[in-house]
A and B are shown apart, each in its own frame.
Chain A
Amino acid sequence: MKLRLLRLACAGTLLALPALAFAQPIDKIVEGAKKEAKVRVGITVRWQEGGKPGAKRMVELFHSRYPFLKVDYERVGGSRERERVLTELAAGQISYDVTVLSETQVPVAAKANVIEKIDWRALGVPPRHVHEDGLGVNYRSQIYGIAYNRKQIPEAAGAQLSWEDCAAPRFRGKVAVDSRPRHLEIFWQPQVWGREKTLAHARRLAANGTRFEQDRTAAMTKLALGEYAMVCGAFFSTYHEQIRSGDKAQLGFRVAEPVPVSLGDVVFVPRGTPHPNAARLWVVWSLSPEGQQVLDEVEGSGSPLFPGTQAAALIKGKKLAWYEPEYRAKADEILKEVLEASGLPIVR
């Protein structure tokens, strides 16, 4: 009996240890953040969109949870602004306590020694969201699918579309693909289609007169107008935007298997920031169920790993193709191979 009780006590302690370990660092971080009283956040979420709150909602919610912290928010949008942030950090200017880079910018930032290495897993961030070497976390997700025009592809046929249909002769010249086809980068991975099958598919797309579009929204608009029958590798968020502002009846979205899923944008804490604890608190909160719920609400890009998000509902029961970190790190090289196979003029 005594031995049994002892075993139970040990098991309970062991189970409680992670929670205790997690609670301790967070408690310390909260205490540290109280002294700092401020956090400067520069990430990709829009402050407002069409009058509806975006990052504004995130800031309000965060502030309600940590009222001692004043949040100074600024949007850091596309690649040019991220280049500015990276260059500023390398030159010694720390404009934000929490900011964002693309996956492939991270090695450059690491080489320039501008990222604070943090054990995010110990702070409770889901492991799949943690960038290797503790250099940051992926806080948004994207699901890729096939958007189609319901007048040209009836709903019953649309619900059966496969990735191979993107190169089918019956859709010759009527298919658009993003000029950076991320879904093909994901398929390139050995555990999904593999290199040879993906490049063969890219060559078939080229031979089938597929149109490459640089502007995702313009591609979706042209789809709605009937210029295209399908947009392959469409972002779910772009489709969502289009039907929200346009004619819902025109467009359908097929989540074809394997479903490409990527966790993009690496959020990190710059080395030497004056508010390190506040910065950690923001990041941990944004990767919490509450933070992901509000991100899903304002942007539709909540993680599929958190129940209740739109992404979680979309992929339920489906075979997934995750963009694994080791391949995300060489996304540029993979992309160049794919683009070359697709017939784009690429020098490498």
Chain B
Amino acid sequence: MRARLPSSTALFFLAVVAILIWLIAIPLGEMLLSSFRSGHPVAPGPFSFKNYRVAYGSPLTYRMILNTLVFAAGGTAVTAAIAISFAWLLERTDMPLRNLCWSLLLIPLAMPGLLFSMAYVFLLMPTSGLVNVWLRDLFSSFGVELSEGPINIYSLGGMIFLDGMRGVTTVFLMVAGAFRIMDPALEEASFAAGAKNWATLKRVTLPVLRPALFAALLYEFASSMESFEAPLILGLPGRIYVYSTMIYVSTRDAVPDYGLGAAFAASYFLFSLGLVYLYQRAVVRRAERFATVGGKGYRPRRIELGRWRYAALGVFILYFVFAVALPLGVLVWTSLLPAYEPPSRAALARLNWDNYGLIFSEPALLRSAWNTFIIAFTTATATVMLAFAVSWLVVRARVKGSGALDGLTFASHAVPGVVIALSFIFLYLQPPLRALGLYGTVWLVVLALIAQYVSFASRATHAAVMQIHKELEEAGEAAGASRLRVLWQITFPLIRPAFIAAWIWVAAHAVRAFSVPLMLAGRTSRPLAVMLWHLWDEEQNLPAASALGVLLIAILTVVTFSGRAVVARGLGSP
């Protein structure tokens, strides 16, 4: 039943709506508007349905959607299996080295997607991939001669593998907090009734954590549907095409076909709204059923794995080798060479630090690093706070229109960064916003990135808020505390793990983001990611791009480890 709104809540709701309209609805509206026009946004043509006829009148579109559904389902399944398993192992069991593993899980966030995919190409391309060469030598010693392979990364399996591995950290961050703060009473009841670990996990833990899991998988599925890096770098040479590749090839002219691209994006937008509707019906409307943190105190209990402890650690190590060690090794190797070549004695003689020298001799390096820090810190903080505000309104206050608010927040996922950037250029170069003088500054980049990342952050904070039983807040208010004080002293400490996990995710992505800063940053406000993009795409200097990528990974690893230490210190070590 919807309660009458106190005026403060109504004002708060309006303020949040105004912010989201400013950040998301305007670029989204411009995108949808351009889908009905041909030509460039600066010189648009007449209104027509031509883009929709072209986009949806071709049977190719539906074949690609089907391919993409298979690809996304496969990628999400791989991600879910690994991420949820690790969340359970690290937060609920006595697996050894949990803290270290938790921190190591964050490292893939630091690795730019294009470099990650490229590293795997060098490892697994059919003829000269390092792993394939090694495997063929091994098979040859057993009398089996192969001319190429045995593994071909240019395949649907290769694409699913890469996409699945890339999504693990995101899903882990979305669900780990939920596993951590879950009241163990339900599991204890299950054990007391004689159920074993696996049965308890399947019948108690996972169902109770459904909101967090659903939110995470929903987000990950939507991300896989629009995934671009693996389909481009692996799918194009392998002639395996999905929706994003088709959009790229069809609209990637010297003058991008924004209208056609927007018509395609409209289906992502509708798809996103459909997912949000499902999420609302299945989870948000029944939020109380999923509250696992109530007024009773509890001490988290660790499930004992017995002899499986070290097997679990072994699985983690295997994941780490594939997700981090191998690709990072290729990047480090490449960064020390003038041009990539496989390891050999001759190559060892050519190792040098020239690419790092090139990076450090860049006059704008320090300024770019400072800009990166500002962008990452501000974007992450503002995004998570906005997401929390949305989550409170949607999940707790359940104000009229909260469904639409949630839809708008999630649908920002459907708006490409380049569209957000273009609409911001227009908005902030024209009166009245021109007077603010934001164009070309880091602050405009921050605003655009908030619009991009609030979608993810809101899924994480939704799940966290849902876990807190409202009786805790009601008790605070009954004792005379103001709503703000209740939020700060009761709610926030309980959701802090999810808050910080989301913060880390947004900060890492803001460091890696190049599409938006490339278009919005001025000469003095460019971050390191723009430098990386220049090296990779425009100068086609893979070794130097690898060097900068390695440096970024090192910096982000320190940042994420520090963030993780704050979480662990604040809540007691697991």
A346 contacts partner chain B, Cβ-Cβ < 8 Å: yes
**Contact A247 B241, beta carbon cutoff 8 Å:** no
List which B435-494 residues lie within 8 A (CB) of chain A: 439
List which A60-109 residues lie within 8 A (CB) of chain B: 74-75, 77-81, 83-84, 86-93, 102-105, 108
**Contact A103 B254, beta carbon cutoff 8 Å:** yes
CA distance A332 to B250 in the complex (A): 10
**Can you list 20 contacts pairing A with B, beta carbon distance less than 8 Å?**
A77-B534, A78-B537, A79-B256, A80-B515, A80-B518, A83-B519, A86-B42, A91-B430, A93-B439, A105-B254, A214-B233, A218-B540, A225-B342, A245-B338, A332-B253, A332-B255, A345-B60, A345-B63, A345-B64, A346-B249
A51 contacts partner chain B, Cβ-Cβ < 8 Å: yes
Please, which residues of chain A bring their CB within 8 A of the CB of B121? Answer: 218, 222
Please, which residues of chain A bring their CB within 8 A of the CB of B236? Answer: 179, 211-214
Question: Interface centre among A80, A245, A332, by most B CB within 10 Å?
Answer: A80
CA distance A90 to B60 in the complex (A): 35
A-side residues, CB < 8 A to B, are 46, 49-51, 74-75, 77-81, 83-84, 86-93, 102-105, 108, 111-112, 176, 179-180, 211-218, 221-222, 224-227, 238, 241-242, 245-247, 331-332, 335-336, 339, 343-348
**Contact B429 A217, beta carbon cutoff 8 Å:** no
Given contacts A51-B361, A108-B39, contact A80 B246 (CB under 8 A): no
**Contact B237 A212, beta carbon cutoff 8 Å:** yes
B280 contacts partner chain A, Cβ-Cβ < 8 Å: no
B54 contacts partner chain A, Cβ-Cβ < 8 Å: yes
B539 contacts partner chain A, Cβ-Cβ < 8 Å: yes
Please, which residues of chain A bring their CB within 8 A of the CB of B539? Answer: 46, 49
Q: Which of A81, A180, A217, A344 contacts B519 (CB 8 A)?
A: A81
**Contact B127 A226, beta carbon cutoff 8 Å:** yes
CA distance A238 to B252 in the complex (A): 21
Give the distance to chain B from A164, nearest Cβ to Cβ, in Å: 22
**Contact B237 A213, beta carbon cutoff 8 Å:** yes
The segment out of B18-26, B79-87, B318-326, B418-426 that lies at the interface is: B418-426
Please, which residues of chain B bring their CB within 8 A of the CB of A227? Answer: 125-128
Please, which residues of chain B bring their CB within 8 A of the CB of A347? Answer: 54-55, 58, 60-61, 246, 250, 260
B541 contacts partner chain A, Cβ-Cβ < 8 Å: yes
**Contact A344 B241, beta carbon cutoff 8 Å:** yes
Could you tell me the dominant secondary structure of chain B's interface residues? helix
B542 contacts partner chain A, Cβ-Cβ < 8 Å: yes
Q: Which of A88, A221, A242 contacts B429 (CB 8 A)?
A: A88
Please, which residues of chain B bring their CB within 8 A of the CB of A217? Answer: 540-542
Please, which residues of chain B bring their CB within 8 A of the CB of A331? Answer: 254
**Contact A80 B418, beta carbon cutoff 8 Å:** yes
CA distance A95 to B232 in the complex (A): 33
**Contact A90 B127, beta carbon cutoff 8 Å:** no
Give the distance to chain B from A71, nearest Cβ to Cβ, in Å: 15
**Contact B518 A348, beta carbon cutoff 8 Å:** no
Give the distance to chain A from B45, nearest Cβ to Cβ, in Å: 9
CA distance A345 to B422 in the complex (A): 27
**Contact A218 B254, beta carbon cutoff 8 Å:** no
List which B35-92 residues lie within 8 A (CB) of chain A: 39-43, 54-55, 58, 60-61, 63-64
Give the distance to chain B from A320, nearest Cβ to Cβ, in Å: 23
Give the distance to chain B from A181, nearest Cβ to Cβ, in Å: 12
Given contacts A83-B256, A346-B250, A348-B54, contact A90 B43 (CB under 8 A): yes
B118 contacts partner chain A, Cβ-Cβ < 8 Å: yes
CA distance A60 to B517 in the complex (A): 30
**Contact A344 B249, beta carbon cutoff 8 Å:** yes
Please, which residues of chain B bring their CB within 8 A of the CB of A242? Answer: 339
CA distance A92 to B439 in the complex (A): 13
Please, which residues of chain A bring their CB within 8 A of the CB of B154? Answer: 211
**Contact B425 A87, beta carbon cutoff 8 Å:** yes
List which B104-157 residues lie within 8 A (CB) of chain A: 118, 121, 125-128, 154
List which B517-545 residues lie within 8 A (CB) of chain A: 518-520, 523, 534, 537-543
Q: Which residue of A lies closest to B40 (CB)?
A: A108
**Contact B241 A104, beta carbon cutoff 8 Å:** no
B33 contacts partner chain A, Cβ-Cβ < 8 Å: no
CA distance A238 to B539 in the complex (A): 10
Q: What would 20 more interface pairs be, CB under 8 Å, given A83-B422, A87-B422, A218-B118?
A: A80-B518, A92-B429, A108-B255, A112-B43, A179-B236, A213-B236, A214-B232, A214-B236, A218-B121, A225-B341, A226-B128, A238-B540, A241-B540, A331-B254, A336-B250, A345-B60, A345-B245, A345-B250, A346-B246, A347-B60
Q: Which of B250, B439, B523 contacts A348 (CB 8 A)?
A: B250
Give the distance to chain B from A254, nearest Cβ to Cβ, in Å: 21
Please, which residues of chain A bring their CB within 8 A of the CB of B316? Answer: none
List which B139-193 residues lie within 8 A (CB) of chain A: 154
CA distance A242 to B338 in the complex (A): 9
Please, which residues of chain A bring their CB within 8 A of the CB of B429? Answer: 88, 91-93
**Contact A86 B40, beta carbon cutoff 8 Å:** yes
Please, which residues of chain B bring their CB within 8 A of the CB of A105? Answer: 254-255
CA distance A83 to B154 in the complex (A): 32
**Contact B523 A74, beta carbon cutoff 8 Å:** yes
**Contact B339 A224, beta carbon cutoff 8 Å:** yes
Give the distance to chain A from B338, nearest Cβ to Cβ, in Å: 4
CA distance A78 to B252 in the complex (A): 13
Please, which residues of chain A bring their CB within 8 A of the CB of B421? Answer: 84
Please, which residues of chain B bring their CB within 8 A of the CB of A112? Answer: 40, 42-43
Given contacts A83-B422, A332-B255, contact A215 B540 (CB under 8 A): yes
**Contact A245 B426, beta carbon cutoff 8 Å:** no
Question: Interface centre among B127, B154, B354, by most A CB within 10 Å?
Answer: B127
**Contact B339 A87, beta carbon cutoff 8 Å:** no
CA distance A54 to B540 in the complex (A): 15
Give the distance to chain A from B455, nearest Cβ to Cβ, in Å: 22
Given contacts A221-B542, A345-B64, contact A79 B249 (CB under 8 A): no
CA distance A104 to B425 in the complex (A): 21
CA distance A224 to B339 in the complex (A): 10
**Contact B254 A343, beta carbon cutoff 8 Å:** no
Give the distance to chain B from A336, nearest Cβ to Cβ, in Å: 8
CA distance A336 to B60 in the complex (A): 15
B239 contacts partner chain A, Cβ-Cβ < 8 Å: yes
